[in-house]
Amino acid sequence: MALDLGDVRSGFRHIEVVMFINEEVLNNGGGPDFYLTFRSRPWNEIEDELRSIIADPHVPQATKRACTWSALALNVRVVARQLEQQAYGVSRLQEQMEERETAAWALASQLQRLRKERDLLVSQLRGVREDLRQALNDCESMRRWQPAERWSQEVVTESRPQRLGVQFYNTSSIYCIVCSPPKVSFSSITICLMHFTLF
């Protein structure tokens, strides 16, 4: 018997066809040798071997017919193997496509999250920039206001002693005070005070 009836990789779907091929191989004096030898080979090797057998004048016609039936069965097996490989390839490609789609969705989700984080950081930076600008404006206002305040304080402190006959002379960090009391015999008393201003 050339073909195994239980071989699921033979490529045949009907057992009647397998039995008929086996009968033709046996009736022509053949056996399972040709089929078993080439069942895992590609079709071009099977065809080359069949051609060499058919072209050999020393091979009987019955043997040629038996090998031809075996080659026919092997051809069906080769086609079934190719279909199986193609189906596996298609399945593998589909799996890879699904994996890439999943990865693409994950990347899209991650990109969306990063964009939200970027927008949040941009908003926070804008708020910090506005706060910094306001702080700089406040500092500038205080810097302009501070000399005016010192001048007003000097005017207040200098105007009061003049009522008592005391005169201030501001020379940078030295204040000279000239007092002219009415009941003192000498004309005037000059008092110089060292005053260091802090800036």
Tens of pLDDT, residue by residue over 5-61, are 778 788 888 888 889 998 999 888 888 899 989 988 999 999 999 999 999 999 999
64, part of any domain: yes
pLDDT digits (tens, 9 = 90+) for 94-134: 999 999 999 999 999 999 999 999 999 999 999 999 989 99
Residue 151 has pLDDT above 60, yes or no: no
Report if residue 66 sits inside a domain: yes
More reliable by pLDDT, 153 or 136: 136
Q: Is residue 6 a part of any domain in this protein?
A: no
pLDDT value for 191 = 41
In degrees and rounded to multiples of 5, residue 133 shows phi and psi of -65, -40
Q: Quote the pLDDT of residue 157.
A: 52
User: In sequence order, what DSSP letters do the residues of the chain get, joined into one string?
Assistant: --S-TT-TTS----HHHHHHHHHHHHHTT--SHHHHHHTTS-HHHHHHHHHHHHH-TTS-HHHHHHHHHHHHHHHHHHHHHHHHHHHHHHHHHHHHHHHHHHHHHHHHHHHHHHHHHHHHHHHHHHHHHHHHHHHHHHHHHHHHHHHHHHHHHHHHHHHHHHTTTEEEEEETTEEEEEE--TT-SSS-EEEEEE-----
46 falls within a domain:
yes
CA atoms within 13 Å, Cβ hemisphere of 170: 9
Please answer whether residues 25 and 31 qualify as being in contact, where contact means their C-beta atoms are separated by less than 8 angstroms: yes
- Is residue 5 domain-resident? no
Inside any domain, residue 74: yes
Domain boundary among 44, 67, 93: 93
Q: How many domains are there within the chain?
A: 2
**According to the model, what pLDDT value does residue 148 have?**
56
Which of 59, 93, 127 delimits the end of a domain? Answer: 93
26 found inside a domain: yes
Last residue of a domain, one of 40, 59, 93: 93
pTM for the whole thing?
0.51
**Structural domain boundaries enclosing 44:** 15-93
Domain-located, residue 102: no
Q: What percent of the chain has a predicted confidence (pLDDT) above 70?
A: 72
